[in-house]
A and B are shown apart, each in its own frame.
Chain A
């Protein structure tokens, strides 16, 4: 669809709102949603309701699980403005997004930028239809903030790599069907220049996962072990030993997403929902709420302004600012929510639902995808051009 200005956008809004209203089953609309309402898709996914599955299928048939991707790859070919309208109408009608996944957020964008035409046509529709659930194999015990030090090694065996090593903080590895992983394929080269970006079926012999129990009581992350895993040579994105380019591209993407709260990793619980009871009147808490409101509004405008800048030719390393600021802001928001919720907020599952585990979850926002300190380093060196030691 072409973006023909405000008038046709208004018509588009009416059309899409009507379609949502006619097609969204009762199970996915008209209430507040929490983490348990997220549709992740995949071979082993247990749908929360029939309506959840129906909604995913109806949307994917129209390309609406990946609105901006080309129709040839299972998308709807929307412009950015149209996608915004789609999301606004979902929010207005209180309808849950049909599908969320690492395939949509991470691998898809990587394939669109670096994949072959064959790879795009093969992998992308599996993602948009919610058939294959992907996970991300980046960090290792010895490679966290210093990600380019990954040691998981793929030995060149002619038609395949033989991979051994360990990944950590692999989100939902125990539930995923495939993993995209950074694997060292050249130990002699400089650390950034010997890494390849490989795609692996999690059912391949030699792969095992072990969930990690977190402070939130949940186990969204796993350790993932590779023990003589055979990976065919065509399961690579980009060129051999050039995987860091793909990873860097994705990290930038991930940072904008985590910063913007778009990944589902960050809840978008509003401050008003907890302050609304009216019994929080002490000046300190009220002042914190006012400051948070101001900073959140200004940050929302900054996301918008950076999208406009990106359209004009990119924001480069300044996107580290979005990740830094957005995650710190979200942590502040949850600290305030806990304060406002008082003893009602302390239960694992109480008056405010899963607020306490969500609060604990937010502590990872400024660690995952590059810590706040790494973001500040990037800004200092790449944007402000302050000297190294």
Chain B
């Protein structure tokens, strides 16, 4: 089964109410505020090391039975810059958390903090729009 590295649109920044865990070897986030600065419209966006998806996409991932992911609450805000550039209200979002293994489960985060998805998962993402992401075949 083929796997792909997906680099989603970066629509914003980690907001001031984000809480970090700095104790580990890798910087982690325990509470997420995703602050939108602009949005080109994709249903999955990131700000390393966090990924968020629209509720609609999260439901589709669950319905498809894709492995390796769970969903958590995210606080979404819009910066003054975002208010200028984003047209219309934002949809509701969920924090995409990873529970599986990259290149094994349908969704995973590799050691380089890149999103690795199976062909099936890529199909689900593309079905909901992946116009502004960069997708490449995962090596190895």
Q: Specify whether A and B are partners.
A: no
